[in-house]
Copies of this chain bind each other. A is one copy, B any other.
Amino acid sequence: MSKGVKIVTIGGGSSYTPELMEGFIKRYDELPIKEIWLVDIEDGKEKLETVGKMAQRMWDSSPYDVNVHLSLDRREALKDADFVTTQFRVGLLNARVKDERIPLSYGMVGQETNGAGGIFKAFRTIPVVLSIVEDIKELCPNAWLINFTNPAGMVTDAIIRYGKWEKVIGLCNVPVGAMMAEPELIGKTLDELVYAFAGINHFHWHRVKDLQGNDVTSEIIDKMYSNDSGIPANIHDTPFFIEQLKQMNMIPCGYHRYYYRSEEMLAHMLKEYNDPDVGTRAQQVKQTEAELFELYKDPNLDYKPEQLSKRGGAHYSDAACETIASIYANKNTQIVVSTKNNGAVPDLAPDDVVEVSAYVGAAGARPIAFGSFQPAERGWLQLMKSMELCVEEAAVTGNYGLALQAFTMNPLIPSGETAKRVLDELLIAHKKYLPQFAEKIAELEAAGCIVKGEVAKDLD
């Protein structure tokens, strides 16, 4: 890295890229970037060019001399990279629309990282990310891979478990949101509190202490019930039952709503799904993205527009930039990341990927040992991690029985004939991106299985 840092972003045509650029510009002093490569696929070429030009304008208006290279050739870009970030979406937003609408058409949660949709996002993404890892091993074996492609936990786990690549850190913006919102509830700043997170991606809990070492989690919980903060924009704000939170004396992440308030979350999603003026989250995001790209086309725009912050993933890219800078400058910043457990969560295996508070520096993420959970959280966590392991193995092997096991275990999918129907329809709907399941899909099609969900018609 002596001649300056080379960063490669796979899925560079994403609307998030300007946030990433802003993060790098802000940290240039500690992270002296030389070149940035934005990589995308043919289907994303137009967006890549739009956002790529915008990115170059941002650097040009900064005091730093950084070139933004655009490429459709991943291997060319990866050569000698120092950091690779992944933010791609296999099948683009249309695939997400299917992940949402097909389950919802059968009355089940349809969501990007949870339930049937989350499982299929993993099925599409894991094989691609493993092929990227093979390229990294060959072309830039010293690089760190910073993954924020969802489902970030399973993807990171698969990179280590199946890709045998340990230099990876998975990121998520959810913990950042909690730490931004909660302190003021009890009249503190973040600097005045000590946060400890543990669990898995989109399924973690945290505890908080003050600077006298006193646990203030219970105090924050009390305040949350008069002041409804700390909830990511893309999660409906049904409150948790306070009796439950007081019993656990921890604060769950927003996504726990799907599991702790299934009834209300499903009702809300179905309402949006059934309202043609609203639509599911992916449909809303498509609209937001279209607007963002219109803005990006403005040749005078050379800074991250305000509107981007309203996109659900705010702070994602900032977390990525901070992680990269912490590794590069050995800053030992405390960040909540997906990384190999190593015992930090004793209720899971040492080689499982978990999402925990960690200190990030030159040696990567060093997770802080959290200790054992009480039975309720332990049981949930062990179920969810086991489900992830089934999903990952099915994603790698194309084993249908295992996919069905994952569906059956998933608490957001009521097991039975309809669940199997949804599994089969999603296989067919995503056929193009699921070569590992080709044989089963052919068998289903031969048996006359078709996508009945009303989303199929306009998306391929």
Contacts and interface: CB of A to CB of B under 8 A. Distances in A.
Interface of A: 1, 142, 144, 167, 191, 194, 196, 209-213, 241, 243-244, 246-248, 259-265, 327, 330, 332, 334, 340-346, 350, 357, 359, 361-364, 366-372, 375-376, 378-380, 382-387, 389-390, 393, 399-402, 404-406, 408-409, 411, 414-420
Nearest to A214: B142
B386 A371 contact: no
Given A263-B419, A382-B382, 10 more contacts: A196-B363, A213-B362, A244-B408, A247-B404, A261-B415, A341-B369, A359-B368, A375-B386, A379-B384, A379-B387
B376 A406 contact: yes
Contact of A370 (B342, B383, B408): B342
Counting every copy of the chain, the complex holds 4
A343 B369 contact: yes
Contacts of A390: 375-376, 379
Contacts of A142: 212
B386 A211 contact: no
A219 to B, nearest CB: 15
Contacts of A247: 399, 401-402, 404-405
Contacts of A260: 408, 415
Nearest to A246: B401
B362 A376 contact: no
A449 to B, nearest CB: 14
B346 A375 contact: no
A404 B241 contact: yes
28 contacts: A194-B361, A196-B363, A209-B363, A212-B362, A213-B327, A244-B405, A246-B401, A247-B404, A260-B415, A263-B414, A263-B415, A263-B419, A332-B332, A334-B359, A341-B369, A342-B344, A342-B370, A343-B370, A343-B372, A346-B350, A350-B372, A366-B369, A367-B368, A375-B387, A375-B393, A376-B387, A379-B383, A382-B386
